[in-house]
Each structure stands twice: as structure tokens, then as C-alpha cells.
Chain A
Amino acid sequence: EAQVTQNPRYLITVTGKKLTVTCSQNMNHEYMSWYRQDPGLGLRQIYYSMNVEVTDKGDVPEGYKVSRKEKRNFPLILESPSPNQTSLYFCASSSPRGRAYEQYFGPGTRLTVT
């Protein structure tokens, strides 16, 4: 089954404690992206990756890092989380290369930073 998986689905952490949210897709998609969803703001892109070892900032990259060492994986790293990063996070992937055609979304990770 074609899918995007994220782990964990729920995470409660404290300010400053580094965390990683994993994202994996099994569709051989070149393009992967991270979004955060906040009430009244819709989805905003954090980072995206055009292919392995090719990543770039989206609209709200501050406080986040990503890496793309393998085509299927695109982890999101918060090195020093703060309460304003409390949000619902979605990973997405798509193809063909470089074009934002239909994106497939993971189930989401709800992060709370206290």
C-alpha cells in the first residue's frame, strides 16, 4: 500500500530537549515536504526536499532542521524546541520531480512543547 508514515503520532516534550520526527514514504517520490498546521493559519511549509541531499527552506523554517540522506526518509529535527513550536506536523511526498502535483500526506504528528 502506497503511504507516508510518520512517527511518533503524539509527542509531549519540554523546552530545549532535542527531538526528531521521522517521515518515510514507499512511493519512490523525489519531492518531500514538511508542513505545520495551526488553527486559523492552514498549512505552512517548513522545509522541502527535491531529492536526496537537496533540501531548502519553506515559509517557516526557523527552529527546524531536516536531512535527506535516503530517498524514502525525510526526518524533521527540532534541536531546541520552544512552546511556539507546539503544532500539528505533516509530512508529504509527491512526484514527478520538482513539481507540486498531487501530494500524499502522512497521518500527522501532534507535538506539545511545555
Chain B
Amino acid sequence: AQSVTQLGSHVSVSEGALVLLRCNYSSSVPPYLFWYVQYPNQGLQLLLKYTSAATLVKGINGFEAEFKKSETSFHLTKPSAHMSDAAEYFCAVSDPLATGANSKLTFGKGITLSVRP
């Protein structure tokens, strides 16, 4: 079974500061990994994804994440936070070889990012 751990439920940063949202995964096979963002009163939007190509993945809105197999991590970063980054962020994992019931996304519990002026 796969799982995702997002430690903490809330992160607060100042505008212009580094954003670091942590994600650790558990998987018995090389996984596919995703970060989704949910703005208030909206659905989930894909930020970026790792599908076994480059380990450093660049996404939309200046975000990037690095897949580190040795640490089973896929942390999300952005060099300089903007007020518009305030949202909830979800890390998710899937098994690229799975079919049937196992072909699904398993989500972490999410982290709310607040950005202070």
C-alpha cells in the first residue's frame, strides 16, 4: 500500500520568503508523485508531477519539487512567496504499474499555506 505524509497542517511565511512544504511517501515500487493546489472555493489544480524522468521538477507559478529516493521525499519549494500563493497544498502518490483498485491517487492530508504581508 502507498501512503503520503505531510507533516503539520499549516505553514505561514512572509511575502518574499522561501516556501518549503514537506512531503514524504511510502511505496513498494518507484512511484509517480504529484503536488496539487486548492485555492479557496475551487477544485484541485495540478502544480507539478514526477513521473520517473528528471528528479527536479518545475511546475506552474514558480514552484518546483525534487524527488529524493534515498529520503523518500518530494518537497515543494518556491524561492519567493507571493500573496496569491495562499492556498491548501496536497501531495499525492500513485503506482505507475497499477491497475484496477490500485490505480488511484493517494493523497496526504494537505497543508494550508498562509502568506503574511
A residues lining the B interface (CB < 8 Å): 4, 31, 33, 35, 40-45, 48, 50, 56-58, 90, 92, 98-108
Q: Which of B38-46, B62-70, B73-81 contacts A (4 or more CB under 8 A)?
A: B38-46
Q: Tell me if B100 and A102 are in contact (CB < 8 A).
A: no
Q: Which of B71-117 contact A (CB under 8 A)?
A: 90, 94-96, 98-101, 103-105, 107-110
**Do B43 and A106 touch across chains, with their CB atoms under 8 A apart?**
yes
Given contacts A42-B110, A45-B104, is CB(A98)–CB(B42) below 8 Å? no
Bound: A90/B41 CA distance, A? 12
CA distance A50 to B103 in the complex (A): 9
**Interface size, B (range):** 20 to 34
Complex formed: what's the CA distance from A61 to B111 in Å? Answer: 25
CB of A40 within 8 A of CB of B45, answer no
Say what secondary structure dominates the interface of chain B.
Answer: loop
A4 to chain B: closest residue by CB: B43
Q: Chain A's interface: helix, strand, loop or mixed, by majority?
A: strand
What's the least CB distance linking A105 to chain B, in Å? 4
On whether A102 and B45 interact (CB within 8 A), knowing A31-B103, A41-B109, A45-B104, the answer reads no
Given A42-B90, A43-B90, A90-B44, CB of A102 within 8 Å of CB of B110: no
Q: How far is the CA of A85 from the CA of B105 in the complex (A)?
A: 21
CB-defined contacts of A101 to chain B, threshold 8 Å: 32, 51, 94
CB pair B100–A99 under 8 Å, yes or no, is no
Which residues of B sit under 8 angstroms from A42, Cβ to Cβ? Answer: 90, 107-110
B104/A107 in contact, CB under 8 A: no
Q: Which of B32, B95, B96, B100 contacts A50 (CB 8 A)?
A: B100
